[in-house]
């Protein structure tokens, strides 16, 4: 197992290097730079002054020097400063990462908590009313875009109940109740999408497992329904479900961009999108690398979870 983990970690190095080249190259291909964005509402800066500012921010260096400088910063865990705001990137990340982690974690919990029972219900009551309702929920979750659902919820909550989540951000440690008010709706929006695919996968794999010989044997032995489904069938049906949940983490992180914007949460998604819009190279590059590293790690964890779920799986 440890050799397998080491091998996977070593394989992550070329993946991350390739990602770094792609993100660095793409940012340079895009027209405009951070100074252009900064001056955008001002519009009376001479080319001479822009040149001077570019030099101050090292934007005038050849691309390979900029790249090597940045890679060195990443290797030494010193991502530098935003060229747009001048803030230390590590400081911005310290503030935004907990927001996105909390949002994503709540979305996963809500999504899975909705998906698994619904999936089980649908599978065990195949072609009954509860199955149809479960499938309808799943299709809705897949069909409703996050931005639409988020806007709808916030608008109608305001119109019907004269309520919306408190604006701003309060950390969980500062005020758990206020934090919950701020995070519950955005997490539910993200969670619904996650639950849709997960529910459908739970249903289909459980239907498959319920037709296995060992389940039929369990029924024949007179075991209770709950025991058969939750202890014997569901655990084996969960492997593809875990794959689906793991595979959706990327989508979930992408979804945070929209949801964080609608619910005014200062997370990684908003930070990254604004940095892209303003061509804030160091911030975009650092954030993308962080997401890439996170996804590599999560994929590894998902793979390792298989072994826990199914002891027959061995890693070498």
Partner 1 sequence: MSTNDQAPGGTRQAMKRRDFLKRAGWGSVGVTGLIIGASRSPALAHPPSPYPSWTPASDKPPKRGGLLTRASAWDPPVLDPRLTNSVGLSQIATLVYNRLLRYPFTDEAKGSADLTLKGDLAESWEGSADFKTWTFKLRQGVKWHNVPPLKGRELVADDIKYCYEAYAQEGVQSFTFQEIDGMETPDKYTIRIHLKTPNTMFPQNVAEAVTTIFPREVLEEDGDLKQRMIGTGPFILKEHERKVKVVLRRNPDYFEKGFPYIDEYRILSTPDAATRLAAFRTGQSDILGLQSLADVETLRKTNPKAVVQEVTTVLAPFGLNLRADKPPFNDVRVRRAISMAIDRQKQVDTLFEGHAMLGWGIPYFYWQDELPSASDLGPYWQYRPEEAKKLMAEAGHANGFETTLFYYEYFPQMTSQIQLVQQDLKRNLNIELKITKQDYTTYFGRYADGKWDGTAWGFQTGYAVSRDERTYHYMHSKSPKNYFRVNDPVVDDLATKLRQTPDHAEQQALTKKIVEREHDQVLRMWMPYDAGFLIWQPHARNIGQLDLRGNFGYGSSTLARLWLDK
> In the complex, what is the shortest distance from the CB of residue 216 to partner 1, in angstroms, rounded to a whole number?
53
Question: Residue 216 to residues 244, 269, 312: CA-CA distances in angstroms?
Answer: 27, 48, 21
Per-residue H/E/C for 217-271:
HHHHCCCCHHHHHHHHHHHHHHHHHHHHHHHCHHHHHHHHHHHHHHCCCCCHHHH
> In the complex, what is the shortest distance from the CB of residue 305 to partner 1, in angstroms, rounded to a whole number?
34
Among 2, 44, 76, 316, binds partner 1 (CB under 8 A): 44
97 is an interface residue for partner 1 by CB under 8 A: no
59 is an interface residue for partner 1 by CB under 8 A: no
Q: Which is nearer to partner 1, 52 or 211 (CB)?
A: 52
Name the one range near partner 1 by CB under 8 A: 114-122, 222-230, 265-273, 285-293: 265-273
Name the one range near partner 1 by CB under 8 A: 2-10, 135-143, 195-203, 267-275: 267-275
Question: Of residues 151-210, which lie at the interface with partner 1 (CB under 8 A)?
Answer: 151, 154-155, 157-159, 162-164, 166-169
Q: Which is nearer to partner 1, 161 or 308 (CB)?
A: 161
Q: Which is nearer to partner 1, 30 or 313 (CB)?
A: 30
Among 26, 49, 136, 211, binds partner 1 (CB under 8 A): 49
Among 9, 22, 68, 87, binds partner 1 (CB under 8 A): 87
> In the complex, what is the shortest distance from the CB of residue 34 to partner 1, in angstroms, rounded to a whole number?
8
> In the complex, what is the shortest distance from the CB of residue 162 to partner 1, in angstroms, rounded to a whole number?
5
26 is an interface residue for partner 1 by CB under 8 A: no
Q: Which is nearer to partner 1, 62 or 86 (CB)?
A: 86
The residues pairing with 88 across neighbouring beta strands, listed in sequence order, are: 81
Query: Is 206 in contact with 280 (CB distance < 8 Å)?
Result: no
> How many residues belong to the site for partner 1 (CB under 8 A)?
49
Point out which residues bind partner 1 (CB under 8 A).
Answer: 30-33, 36-46, 49, 52-53, 84-87, 92, 95-96, 151, 154-155, 157-159, 162-164, 166-169, 261-264, 266, 270-271, 274, 277-279
């Amino acid at each position: 197992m440890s050799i397998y983990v080491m091998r996977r970690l070593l394989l992550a190095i070329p993946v991350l290097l390739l990602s770094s080249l792609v993100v660095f190259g793409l940012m340079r291909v895009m027209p405009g730079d951070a100074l252009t964005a900064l001056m955008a509402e001002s519009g009376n800066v001479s080319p001479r002054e822009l040149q001077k500012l570019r030099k101050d921010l090292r934007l005038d260096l050849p691309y390979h020097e900029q790249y090597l400088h940045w890679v060195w910063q990443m290797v030494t865990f010193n991502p530098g400063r935003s060229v747009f705001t001048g803030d230390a990137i590590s400081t911005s990340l310290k503030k935004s990462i907990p927001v996105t982690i909390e949002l994503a974690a709540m979305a996963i919990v809500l999504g899975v908590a909705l998906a698994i029972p619904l999936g089980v219900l649908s599978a065990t009551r195949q072609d009954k009313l509860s199955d149809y309702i479960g499938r309808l929920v799943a299709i809705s979750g897949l069909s409703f875009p996050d931005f639409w659902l988020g806007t709808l919820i916030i608008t109608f909550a305001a119109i019907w109940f004269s309520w919306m989540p408190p604006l701003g951000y309060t950390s969980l440690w500062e005020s758990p109740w206020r934090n919950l008010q701020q995070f519950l709706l955005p997490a539910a929006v993200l969670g619904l999408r996650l639950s849709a695919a997960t529910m459908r996968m739970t249903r289909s794999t459980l239907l498959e497992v319920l037709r296995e010989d060992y389940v039929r044997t369990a029924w024949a032995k007179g075991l209770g329904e709950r025991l058969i489904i939750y202890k014997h069938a569901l655990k084996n049906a969960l492997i593809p479900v875990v794959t689906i949940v793991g595979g959706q983490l990327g989508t979930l992180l992408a979804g945070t961009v929209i949801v964080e914007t609608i619910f005014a949460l200062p997370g990684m998604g908003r930070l990254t999108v604004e940095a892209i819009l303003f061509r804030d190279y160091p911030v975009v590059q650092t954030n993308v690398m962080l997401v890439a590293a996170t996804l590599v790690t999560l994929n590894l964890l998902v793979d390792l979870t298989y072994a826990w779920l199914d002891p027959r799986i061995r890693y070498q």
